[in-house]
Amino acid sequence: MKDRPSFASEAITAEREASVKLGLLRRSPGLWLTLAIALVVGLYPALTGNVAVREVVFTMLLSVALASSLNILLGYTGYVSFGHVVFFGLGGYVGMFLLSRGMGLWLAAPAGGLASGVLAFLLGKAILRLRGAYFALATIGINEAMRAFINNFAPFGGPTGISLNFQIYTGYGGAGQALWLTYYVLLGLAIVSLVLSYLVKTSKFGLGLMAIREDEDAAEVMGVITPNAKTWAYILSAIIPGIVGALFFFKNGNIEPNDAFRLHFSIEMLVMVMLGGQGTVLGPMLGAAGYQGLRGFLVTSPLFKDVQLAVAGGLLLLIVLFIPAGAVGWLRQHFPRLRALLP
């Protein structure tokens, strides 16, 4: 193979090289802004010591970690998963099973994440060849199948699920301490999910995912090994939800099939990602916090408390119709100058 001259019509100047590097640097302030918001909100309950506020922020951080993970598949790769809660549920079950057998949280929670990652790998091989609506339908089927399976799976307690002995929390400094502990771990996981999202988005792997999102056939022709890229995206989007599931049900003290595999929670995750802006790092975080804030208002309002899910559905409809890019996506489109701050 003979060496080919480059297509450069002129030599690469030092200036241009600098502009490439500067371009990479310029994209970072948005990450720092995102993490700063997460940290300020996340540490606020710790500084005030207010337990009620902590529970509100706990729900928000949980949603941030889940929405941010889902965004890797939905926002970057363009695959709509309607059953993403299956990873939350499975991670929760595996974690609770191990906790009830005496394993510590530090091993049980990662084991939950690992189990979800393995499930995503196996599912990826099976259903990621489906495109569009067919993939979305398959993910719903998997969530329902998993719920039915666990309902009849004796080691996981069947329909009654698994409950933790209250004694278990003494190992973590008592129930009160254990609640704070799970809170801090969750804050850490939310931060990790945001950093992971940013790293994926700004990597070569992420560029391949976005090529798949825009035109999967064209991506293949350009050399993106689409089955591998999609499977990795699915796995990465499943691990953190698995760990979060284990953590959530550890805090909860018990797990049942109908709590672990709530299909409407999947749809709420989609609303969060779409509301904030799919395919952005900041969007799912703002969408998750915004949606949980709204939901918190709705469930405590006498007028809306019974119809809060209908509001979520209506919200999704409005977003899809009027701002399909989501809040952050809309801002990026209309204020290109702000893009560096809105990753």
Partner 1 sequence: MILELQQISKSFGGLQALSNISFAVPEGQIMGLLGPNGAGKTTLFNVINGVYAPSQGHVIFRGHDLKGLKPYHIARMGMARTHQIVRPLKDLTVRENVMVGACFGREGHNLAEAAQIADDIMQFVGLAERARQLAGSLNVAQKKRLELARALAARPHLLLLDEVLAGLNPAEIATMVETIRRIRDQGVTIIMIEHVMHATMKLCDQLVVLDYGKQLAAGTPAEVAANPQVIEAYLGDPKLAESLMDDAA
Query: Among 16, 26, 129, 305, which residue sits at the site for partner 1 (rule: CB under 8 A)?
Result: 16
Q: Does 208 bind partner 1 (CB under 8 A)?
A: yes
Q: Does 12 bind partner 1 (CB under 8 A)?
A: yes
| Candidate ranges 36-44, 97-105, 208-216, 294-302; the one touching partner 1 (CB under 8 A) | 208-216
Sites for partner 1 among residues 270-299 (CB under 8 A): 279
Type of residue numbered 294: L
Cβ 119 to partner 1 shortest distance, Å? 26
Q: Does 166 bind partner 1 (CB under 8 A)?
A: no
Type of residue numbered 63: S
Query: Among 37, 41, 56, 210, which residue sits at the site for partner 1 (rule: CB under 8 A)?
Result: 210
**Residues 253 and 32: beta-carbon distance below 8 Å:** no
Q: Does 15 bind partner 1 (CB under 8 A)?
A: no
Type of residue numbered 98: L
Give the whole-angstrom CA distance, residue 214 versus residue 178. Answer: 45
Q: Does 211 bind partner 1 (CB under 8 A)?
A: yes
Q: Does 125 bind partner 1 (CB under 8 A)?
A: no
**Residues 180 and 53: beta-carbon distance below 8 Å:** no
Q: Does 73 bind partner 1 (CB under 8 A)?
A: no
Spatial neighbors of 271 by CB under 8 A, at least 6 apart, are 287, 291, 312, 315, 316, 319
Residue 108: CB atoms within 10 Å: 23
Residue 294: CB atoms within 10 Å: 17
| Candidate ranges 28-36, 64-72, 136-144, 222-230; the one touching partner 1 (CB under 8 A) | 222-230
Q: 74 or 211, CB closer to partner 1?
A: 211
| Candidate ranges 13-21, 61-69, 265-273, 302-310; the one touching partner 1 (CB under 8 A) | 13-21
| Candidate ranges 101-109, 213-221, 294-302, 305-313; the one touching partner 1 (CB under 8 A) | 213-221
254 burial (CB, 10 Å; 0-12 / 13-18 / 19+) is middle
Q: What is the DSSP string of 17-82?
A: HHHHHHHHHHTHHHHHHHHHHHHHHHHHHHHHT-HHHHHHHHHHHHHHHHHHHHHIIIIII----T
Which 8-state DSSP code applies to residue 281? Answer: S
Q: Does 231 bind partner 1 (CB under 8 A)?
A: no
Q: 206 or 257, CB closer to partner 1?
A: 206
Q: Does 23 bind partner 1 (CB under 8 A)?
A: yes
Interface residues with partner 1 (CB under 8 A)? 1-2, 4-10, 12, 16-17, 20-21, 23-24, 202-204, 207-208, 210-211, 213-215, 217-226, 279
